[in-house]
Amino acid sequence: MNEIIYKKVLAESVKELRVVAPRIAKARKAGQFVIVRANETGERIPLTIADADPKAGTLTLIFQEVGKSTLLLGSLEVGDSIQDVVGPLGKPTHVEEFGTVVCMGGGIGVAPMHPIAKAMKAAGNKVIAIIGARNKDLLIMEDRMKAASTELHVSTDDGTYGVHGFVTTILQSIIDSGEKINLVVAIGPVPMMNASCKLTAKFDLPTVVSLNPIMVDGTGMCGACRVTVGGKTRFVCVDGPEFDGHQVDFVELVKRQRAYLKQEDQSRQEFLQHPDKRCFETAT
C-alpha cells in the first residue's frame, strides 16, 4: 500500500498525486514509469513518473482522468492509499551532453517530459522546452518546466495563451531561426508525436518519443504493449518506452490503444452512475 500525502488538481480532470514509494523514488531515473493498481478489483495501468523526491521517499504522479481507472485514482484523497505501485519500469532516457535538446510536451505529455528536461539540463544541455495544450486552462506544469529548461515556449490550440497553434508551430519557427538542434524529445498524444516526427524527419533531426500503449504486467511477460518500430515488433515495457520516433508505426499504435473502447466505456459509465461504489467495498 502506498499512501497519498499530497493531492492537487492541475487542470480540469488532470490530477497530481504524491505517493509514498521510497525504494522507487530512490531507484527511478528520467523516462521510467510505474504500473499502478488502485484497489483489489482494479486493473494495472502504466503511469509516468513526473518527479521524485528520494529524501522524502515520494513519487509524483500526474494523470488525466479518462476511464474508470484514472477516475478512481483521481477520487482518492490525501491519507488514502494506492493498493499497488510497481516500478520503476522501462529503460531510462539516454542522457548525455548532446548540445541543444528540444523537449516537446503536449497535453498530459508535459508530465513525463518534466524529469527528462531536468536530466538533460543537468547533463549540460541547452534545453528548449515547448509545452502545449488545447487551451490555457488545460496547460500544466508551466513553472516547473520553466525551472527545468533553459528557455520555455508555450502554445495553445485556441490561442488563449502563448502562441496560437501547436507545439510543432513553435518547433518550426525555432528551426527557421537557424538554431542548431541536436536532439528532439517529443511526448504527448499520438497525433502530436506523429506530427512532431514528420516535421523533424524533414530536417533530419534525431527524435525520441515515449510511447504509452496498453500494458498489463509491465515486465515483459505478456506482450500487450507491443508496437512496430522499424518493421520489428518491440515490447514498450522492456525495450522502451522510448524509441526512435521516425521508426514508430503510429497508425498501428492508435488502433491498439483503442482495443478495449467498448469495455472502457461500460466501466466508465458504471463508475460515473454509482460514485458511491467507487472502490474498496468489493475487495475480497
Partner 1 sequence: MAKEKIPRQKMPEQRPEDRRRNFQEVPFGYTPELAQLEASRCIMCKKPKCIEGCPVEINIPAFVALIKSGDFIGAAKKIKEANALPAICGRVCPQEEQCEVKCVIGIKNDPVAIGRLERFAADFERLNSQIEPPPLPSFTGKKAAIVGCGPAGLTVAGELAKLGHKVTIFEALHQPGGVLIYGIPEFRLPKAIVEAEVDYVKKLGVEIVYNAVIGRFQTVDELLSEGYDSVFLGTGAGLPYFMNIPGENLNGVYSANEYLTRSNLMKAYRFPEYDTPIAVSKKVAVLGGGNVAMDSARTALRLGADEVSIVYRRSRTEMPARVEEVHHAEEEGIQFQLLTNPVEILGDDQGWVKSMRCIRMELGEPDASGRRRPVPLKGSEFEMEVDTVVVSIGNGANPLVPQTTPGLNTNKWGNIIADEKTAATSKPGVFAGGDIVIGAATVILAMGAGKIAARAMHRFMMGIPEPSESEAQGMASSKS
Residue 191, C-beta contacts closer than 8 angstroms, at least 6 positions apart: none
| Cβ-based nearer residue to partner 1, 37 or 246 | 37
160 binds partner 1 (CB under 8 A): no
Stretch that binds partner 1, among 78-86, 111-119, 132-140, 175-183 (CB under 8 A): 78-86
Choose, by CB under 8 A, the member of 7, 146, 238, 247 that binds partner 1: 238
Q: Which is nearer to partner 1, 142 or 217 (CB)?
A: 217
Cα 100 to Cα 27, 149, 208, distances in angstroms:
27, 11, 14
Smallest distance from partner 1 to CB 278, Å: 12
In the complex, the smallest distance separating the C-beta of residue 49 from partner 1, rounded to whole angstroms, is 12
The binder of partner 1 chosen from 263, 280, 281, 283 (CB under 8 A): 263
Kindly state the smallest distance separating residue 21's Cβ from partner 1, in Å: 9
Closer residue to partner 1, CB minimum distance, 163 or 222:
222
Phi-psi region of 93 (alpha: psi -120 to 50; beta: other; left: phi over 0): beta
Q: Which sign, positive or negative, has the C-alpha torsion 47, 53, 54, 55?
A: negative
Q: Is the peptide bond before 88 cis (omega within 30 degrees of 0)?
A: yes
CA–CA distances in Å: residue 184 to residues 66, 104, 127, 204: 28, 7, 10, 11
C-alpha torsion 239→222→256→45, nearest 10: -90
- Sheet of 183-187: strand order equals 163-164, 151-156, 126-133, 100-106, 183-187, 207-210, 242-244
| Residue 204 DSSP class | T
In sequence order, the β-bridge partners of residue 58 are 20, 53
Output the nine-digit C-alpha cell for 232: 520489428
Shortest Cβ distance from residue 77 to partner 1 (Å)?
20
- Looking at residues 162 to 221 of the shown chain, list those that interact with partner 1 (rule: CB under 8 A): 216-221
Chosen residue from 84, 161, 172, 206 binding partner 1 by CB under 8 A:
84
Stretch that binds partner 1, among 103-111, 120-128, 163-171, 262-270 (CB under 8 A): 262-270
Cβ atoms of 235 and 219 closer than 8 Å: no
> At its nearest, how many Å lie between partner 1 and the CB of residue 89?
6
Closest approach of partner 1 to the CB of residue 198, in Å: 21
All 3 cell numbers of residue 246? 521516425
**260 is an interface residue for partner 1 by CB under 8 A:** yes
Which is nearer to partner 1, 142 or 264 (by Cβ)? 264
Give the contact letters, 114-153, x = binds to partner 1 (CB under 8 A), - = no: ----------------------------------------
| DSSP structure string for 13-70 | TEEEEEEE-HHHHHH--TT-EEEEE-STTPPPEEEEEEEEETTTTEEEEEEE--SHHH
Residues that bind partner 1 (CB under 8 A): 23-24, 27, 32, 37, 41-44, 68-69, 83-89, 216-224, 226-228, 233, 235, 238, 252, 255-256, 258-260, 263-264, 266-267, 270, 282
